[in-house]
Chain A
Amino acid sequence: MELKINNLTKQYGSKLAVDRFSVTFTEGINGLLGANGSGKTTLMRIMCDILRPTSGEVLLDGVNITTLDEAYRELLGYLPQYFGYYPDFSAWDFMLYFSALKGLPKLTAENRCKELLDTVGLYEVRKKKIKTYSGGMRQRLGIAQALINDPKILILDEPTVGLDPKERAKFRNIISDYAIGKIILLSTHIVSDVEYIADRIMIMKNGQLSQQATTDRICDSIKDFVWSLQVAPKDVDSYNSRFIVSNLKHSGEMVELRIVSEERPSERAANVSPNLEDLYLYHFKGEV
């Protein structure tokens, strides 16, 4: 199974939200990294067949998803970045409703809902109205909803927003377990969300794909660009204005800087191995 994005463009007025974007997703977890406004949500909406692109197409095994229509959506699970809920529904109603919408038979639906609510830790409160839930609980309900139909293609737009560290870790485990044999696309600007679990990472910038590689190779492109350097506290400002400082740590009298730079920031700087955070900063220097 492969999901191919073919020269996709979405234009809002003069703004190109997605700009000639082409990529092929295969099975495994694909992390989509990008700063605010880089076009992740727009891309995902098009991939979920709820937004028409200005041009280009999304193909599942060579067939346009709008042609596949129901057959495509049957395979799809989607967690939107912003989504609402029915205030007077309980979590149980909400899950049953989407089970019906995704075509699960009633009995299967009830078992599946029970199982998923249990997984996201909402089973105990399933009879309570959603309007009484906290933000994190609603987000978890959204995740459960996306998984109801056991989707082969799972699109998650900033799934960890609002989750506390414990839930975040739990979420990563759920997704890792789930990923086998499925195409998962997960957008975020939180690097640690994808650092450990993604098989591939894509970096989106101004609507374009600016880099993609497997997670272990993605940092190769900047492997000579990350430096460690000890400076006097009075010099910190000067380095900060000239370079991307990805970390800053006080050690005794001195300050230890981690710098992302194509050229050596100083004679005394030593090369260190890059991580994803460095890469992110390297790509979005002006923007974050």
Chain B
Amino acid sequence: MLTMIRLELKKMLIRPISLMLILMILAVNGIILLLNNEGNFVTLQDIEMQRVEQSQYAGKINENWIGRIHETLKMIRENPDNLMSETEKARVRKEYLPRGYTQEHVENMDRTAFLKPELLNSLSYNLLLDAKYSAEFYNHAQQISDMQEELYRTVFEGKKGEDLATKAETMYGYLAQHYIAHYNYNLGWHKLNFMQSLMPFTVGLFLLVTISTIFSREYSQKTDSLILSAKYGKSRLIYAKLLAALILASGIWLTIQVMNLLVIGWLFSLQGGETFVQDWVVNSSPFALTQLTNYIAVSVVSFIGVIFFASVIILISAKTKSSFVSILISSIVLLFPVVIPLPGAGGVAGSIMGETMLFMPVRILIAANHFTFFRAYYILGKVILMQWVIPMVAIAASAFMVTIAIRTVKRHQVEN
């Protein structure tokens, strides 16, 4: 069995195209790790500066902390050194008028409008604003709680609406009222989360090229007659192949994850694992997740995603007669959900589409977005969170597809 697995791995991996692809993927992943949001290479100094500056405010977000942030901000804003000269103020006022502001408004503008640009652009001031925004954590949670509750009660009638609303209310209510969020520097964790969106083009692409050949290549290069007439060709070999595929899939996934952790840990540091994840714009997670627990949850789902992804490839490979066609079909089936953008919340079609997308293997492989909003299904009178349903469906679908693949190979007929 070990010999079979080893040689199956060799078949898929020790090919010029596979080896080239590995190097390419590691290079691309590596380069993107070193880039910031604007697409420039990050520097250790910049990151260290931000880390030191932001770490000052590390701590629990409570009355005390909020008070302190507001106090500091007030001090800075009131510091005459940070204010413009009178002539500059006059110039700013003039600029406001043509933009449609009333004379009265302009007369009464407070001092924040007259802070020096150097201050406005400074890292320390912006971090303070970020902290001030974070101070709103509990209020934001309460707003979402009210909104979601309202939404579910109006969209669904009766017990279903009631139950869903209660669930949303409970989760966000907990964040608003009982949870204690932490603030700290956490750039590394944001980067880690961002790297998940690259998975389809690293792990995904690699699996498409390597695993696609698993069965289809035996057919196309006419080794099927040799294999299927051998003693274990219709039994153990198939399992050896599946194991090899599993090793390959988890191997590349793990390689990328470890690479990300190491590079990010070195460059950005993994400080801030205890901080909250919600920004209430793109991430309104109902879960009391910290960056660390969020990363773990995302990784678990992403790993299930990689297995799901590989299972689809395996099934297609078992069903197609040529490895080229197999790669082609797999690419279309698996990658199109990332290439086409999610439609805006437009009508029934849009919402069905959006719902389906959540279940696409490639989306599950990314996984990072699944934890950023509240979604639950009402199944047999019970509210079940989407975040539970999806891994279960993915596991069941993988098992089903692999079973079909095994059956297909066992029944494969050698013809011309």
Contacts and interface: CB of A to CB of B under 8 A. Distances in A.
Interface of A: 45, 48-52, 69-70, 73-74, 76, 78, 80, 82-86, 88-89, 93, 96-103, 106, 109, 145, 149
B15 A88 contact: yes
A139 to B, nearest CB: 13
B4 to A, nearest CB: 5
Contacts of B222: 80, 82-84
Interface in B228-271: 228-235, 237
A102 B4 CA distance: 11
Nearest to B235: A70
A96 B2 CA distance: 11
Contact of B4 (A45, A89, A101, A149): A101
B231 A149 contact: yes
Given A51-B415, A93-B7, A84 B230 contact: no
A84 B1 CA distance: 22
A76 B232 CA distance: 12
Which label, helix, strand, loop or mixed, suits the secondary structure of the B interface?
Answer: loop
A87 to B, nearest CB: 8
Given A51-B415, A101-B237, A78 B7 contact: no
Contacts of A86: 11, 221, 223
25 contacts: A48-B225, A49-B228, A50-B225, A50-B412, A50-B414, A51-B415, A73-B229, A73-B230, A73-B233, A78-B225, A78-B226, A80-B229, A82-B222, A82-B225, A84-B223, A84-B226, A88-B11, A88-B15, A89-B11, A93-B10, A97-B3, A100-B3, A100-B232, A101-B232, A106-B3
B234 A69 contact: yes
Residue among B11, B226, B233, B237 with max Cβ neighbours from chain A (10 Å): B226
Contact of A70 (B7, B224, B232, B413): B232
A100 B223 contact: no
B14 interface: yes
A172 to B, nearest CB: 23
B4 A100 contact: yes
Contacts of A88: 10-11, 14-15
Contact of A51 (B235, B237, B413): B413
Contact of B7 (A48, A49, A80, A96): A96
Contacts of B225: 45, 48, 50, 78, 80, 82-83
Contacts of A98: 226, 230
Contacts of B221: 84-86
Contact of A74 (B7, B15, B231): B231
A60 B383 CA distance: 59
B322 to A, nearest CB: 13
A102 B11 contact: no
Interface of B: 1, 3-4, 7, 10-11, 14-15, 221-235, 237, 412-415
Contacts of A101: 4, 227, 230-233, 237
B105 to A, nearest CB: 75
A45 B414 contact: yes
A49 B10 CA distance: 27
Interface of A is mostly: loop
Contacts of B3: 96-97, 99-100, 106, 109
B413 A102 contact: no
B413 A50 contact: yes
A69 B412 CA distance: 14
Given A50-B229, A83-B226, 14 more contacts: A45-B225, A45-B414, A49-B228, A49-B229, A51-B414, A73-B234, A76-B229, A78-B226, A80-B225, A80-B414, A89-B7, A100-B232, A101-B237, A145-B226
Contacts of A74: 231
B93 to A, nearest CB: 75
A50 B413 CA distance: 6
A105 to B, nearest CB: 10
B264 to A, nearest CB: 35
Contacts of B233: 73, 101
A173 to B, nearest CB: 24
Contacts of A96: 3, 7
B230 A102 contact: yes
A82 B415 CA distance: 11
A89 B226 CA distance: 15
Interface centre among B229, B235, B413, by most chain A C-beta atoms within 10 angstroms, is: B229
Nearest to A78: B229
A98 B4 CA distance: 9
Contacts of A97: 3-4, 7
A258 B300 CA distance: 80
10 A-B pairs with the lowest CB-CB distances in the bound complex, closest first:
A84-B221, A84-B222, A101-B230, A100-B3, A80-B225, A50-B414, A48-B229, A78-B229, A50-B228, A84-B223
Nearest to B5: A100
A145 B4 CA distance: 15
Contact of A102 (B7, B10, B231): B231
A69 B413 CA distance: 15
A78 B227 CA distance: 10
A116 B95 CA distance: 92
A48 B11 CA distance: 25
B366 to A, nearest CB: 32
Contact of A100 (B7, B228, B229, B413): B7
A17 to B, nearest CB: 10
Contacts of B230: 73, 98, 101-102
